[in-house]
Amino acid sequence: MDMKRHLKSALKQLGFDKPRKAQIIPMNTLDAEQDAIVIAATGSGKQVIYETVGLAHSDKLTIVIEPLLALIYNQVQTLQEHGVSADYIDMTRSKEEIDKILHKARKGKLNFLYVTPERLQNHVFIETMQHSDIFMIVADECHCITEWGYTFRDAYLHISNFIGKLKRKPVICACSATISADSLNTIRDSLHMDKPVILCSDLRRDNLILLKKDVTCNKKTLEERLEFRIKKLCKLIDKYHKDGSVLIFAQTTTYVDALYNILGEIYSGDVTRYHSRIKPKRRKKELLFDFLQGKRKIMISTSAFSMGIDVSDIELVVHFNAPISMTDYIQQIGRAGRDGRKAHCILFYDQNGDDEAISNSFIKKAKKQSPKAAKVIKTKLNQVHNFIHREYRIHSDNCMVCDILEHQGQHEVKTCKRCTVCARKRRNSK
């Protein structure tokens, strides 16, 4: 299938000579003003799809809804570097800056505007968009609608209200690498989509080596057990950190700060951090860009850094604690190896109950919000626990990659031959 000339021109401006095969149909679909849900592996270029189509219609506005500020900063910076008229609205922008951005959007002088879903409930924003020429609305990382909408970010469930208030319904594009089959109807309805085309490509990432590492320690105190775990972490960094970057995920801000202080002394000048409680917000932005621009090579973060961040040379991802959901895990390992080179993704687990205690705190917190939120969180945590449980208790023969793909609705029989499970099977067969 061929691409139209204006799409090719837009793609070239973004720095690409030609599209990937899996990008052509989604681009043509959106260009034809047909709503689409695009499901593709992390690092497969979903961002390029909607950026190309939006740029091909540069006389109109494309609104991109992102779940995280880190995503917004990263994408806007990339577009601006290619001479594209793109901007964002967040809490760090002054009223004067926001007014200027909205004025540009209304006058047709802005091509891309990046916001979080909460912005869509702002009355001034709604009124401005009602008088703007909008070609497309993109819900990037649209799995957040079902992952977060029923817990702590109900703004995701009200996106359809915003779209319904517009004078003309724009093209709607929803993108993610982690959409389950049973969530498609919810995503469609939440985005006010009109008979969307479902476009799903192969979700495998063969350059990622998935490993689980038992960091169980029999020491009595939590401090001693954490010290043991940190020593294991440093060994992995020393082994796999060559010329690329390292991304370490911790479950809480307390863990992130502790790791930052300890690793900052060991790897002096090379460590940064990112989480929601860093103040002021401008300082948090600076820390993010230190990593994005390669000034510091080791990032320690909560899930605030889990989606869509395009750092091409991440060669090692470590989960210091078990992730809160399989979706989070898939998104987070998806940051690795985006340059196509081999990358290692290592999941720590223990049998002491330390990570379980963190999980229980999330459930307790969710209960204060609503019984439904607590149930959602508990279900997600159980999925992660089962993923780990199969390995160290039941000794399942399930390849880790096959397990992940099955979670995403892609039934795969071809094993990766390199993950922890596959490597163990190979050793046992000798």
pLDDT tens figures, 346-387 = 999 988 888 888 888 888 888 887 888 888 888 888 989 888
For the chain, domain boundaries: 5-200, 208-429
CATH code linked to domain 208-429 = 3.40.50.300
Residue percentage of the chain with pLDDT more than 70: 97
Mean pLDDT calculated for residue range 100-117: 97
| 279 or 114, higher pLDDT | 114
Given a cut of 50, whether residue 393 has pLDDT beyond it is: no
pLDDT tens figures, 267-301 = 999 999 988 888 877 787 788 888 988 899 999 99
C-alpha to C-alpha distances, 407 to 182, 292, 365, 403, nearest whole angstrom: 11, 30, 26, 6
CATH architecture of 5-200: 3-Layer(aba) Sandwich (3.40)
Given a cut of 60, whether residue 329 has pLDDT beyond it is: yes
Question: Which pLDDT score is estimated for 312?
Answer: 84
Given a cut of 80, whether residue 396 has pLDDT beyond it is: no
